[in-house]
Structures are given as structure tokens and as C-alpha cells.
Chains A and B, each alone.
Chain A
């Protein structure tokens, strides 16, 4: 199984809502990533987890809160978002972070609209 799954596919939320994005992989990978992609722009790295520990936080606002409950799951908790946070949120995984084992595989993404 070489698939990364993400739920939901689409999400519309108000600025006062709390919601979560979910990502799952069953490839035995130990590194997982969240990216944000605005329209007609490249993906931008938000967070990296390695062996369930947060390795990189790219100065992401605290209204985005990542969680890695186990090696197969990655969540992104959303609270008090702004309309400019509307984007495609992509999850990825790799074997780990070491060279030669860091090929990333992406999920289909969640399209988030903040009203």
C-alpha cells in the first residue's frame, strides 16, 4: 500500500469554528509532513514530524496545531482561522528524514475554505 489518505476532501468553516484535518499512511513511514498550497503557488512546508516528534515548525501561527498520535496518523487542528487561510492542505510521508529514505509521498489534500 503506497497511499496517503486525507479527510475530509473539502471543508468549509467559519472563523469561530474548530475543525481538524486528518492524514493516514500505512507504509510504515516514520516522517510525516503538512504543507499549505495557495492557488497557483507551490506547496509551502508547515510542519514536519519524525518518529512522532515535531521536528520542524515553519513559524506557523498558533491557530494551526499539529498532532501526531501515532506513527500512522497526523492531524491538523484548526481554530479561529482567517479567510486568508483558505488553501489546499497537503499531507505527505517518507520513510524517515535521512538522505536516501526521504522520498515524500503526498495525499490528495483537503480544500479548506474559511468564511
Chain B
């Protein structure tokens, strides 16, 4: 099946710093989403981005489908950005199964 790898697994930032999270996937995909899971377990939609570039405030994302990776940029990080960031893909063939990467655990220090 499709493999989804996220890096880095853990990240500690000082408030105000910028960061880039990466998601690599091993096969073509119909869908790619970035989520932020807060400490209470809620998965918050960040981007629906099977290809191209999108921006939303301090966050932006780029997916290069032909090279099978996506990047999530966080600028001017805030303590409220802490949590786990997941990349989730839906494979392009053989059904509609969604696979999550293992996540990047981010802690932003004040």
C-alpha cells in the first residue's frame, strides 16, 4: 500500500520562529490534507491541497504531486501552534482509503 512519511517527527521552536514540515508519499494520490491535532484530540483542517500552493494567514502549503511530496510552512510560530501536524493522503487507485502519516509533534516555547 501507499506509504506516507513525515519529517521531522518532533520539533521544538522558540516563539516567533519559522518552520517547514514535510510529507513524502510513495504513490499517486487523489487527495492530500494537512491537519493540526490539538491537545484535546480535535483534528483541525489546515489545507486540502492535492497539488499547488495555498496560503492561510501564517500558514502555507505546497504539494508537488509529480515528485510526491508536500510541505507545510509555519511562519512566526505561536504557542497555540503546538500540537501534532498530520499529513493525510487518499490513494489514487484501488479505492478511497485515507492514510495518515505518523505526524510531526510541534512544541512552541514562549
Which positions in A face B, CB cutoff 8 Å?
33, 37, 41-45, 48, 50, 55-56, 58, 88, 90, 92, 97, 99, 102-106, 108-109, 111
Contacts and interface: CB of A to CB of B under 8 A. Distances in A.
A105 B43 CA distance: 8
B98 interface: yes
Given A48-B97, A56-B95, A88-B41, 5 more contacts: A42-B103, A45-B97, A103-B33, A108-B41, A111-B41
Interface string B21-39: 0000000001101010000
Main secondary structure of the interface of B (DSSP, over half): strand
Interface residues of B, number: 23
14 contacts: A43-B43, A44-B100, A45-B97, A45-B98, A50-B96, A90-B43, A102-B30, A102-B31, A104-B45, A104-B88, A106-B43, A106-B45, A108-B41, A108-B42
Contact of A33 (B31, B98, B103): B98
Given A103-B45, A104-B33, A108-B41, A97 B86 contact: no
A55 B97 CA distance: 10
B83 interface: no
A108 B88 CA distance: 17
Contact of A48 (B33, B96, B103): B96
A37 to B, nearest CB: 8
Nearest to B86: A42
Contacts of A48: 96-97
Q: Which of A42, A108, A109 counts the most chain B CB atoms within 10 A?
A: A42
A58 B98 CA distance: 11
7 smallest A-B Cβ distances: which pairs? A42-B100, A106-B43, A103-B48, A99-B30, A97-B96, A109-B41, A102-B31
Interface string B69-110: 000000000000000001010100001111111110000000
Contact of B98 (A37, A104, A108, A111): A104
Contacts of B98: 33, 45, 104
Nearest to B100: A42
Nearest to B103: A42
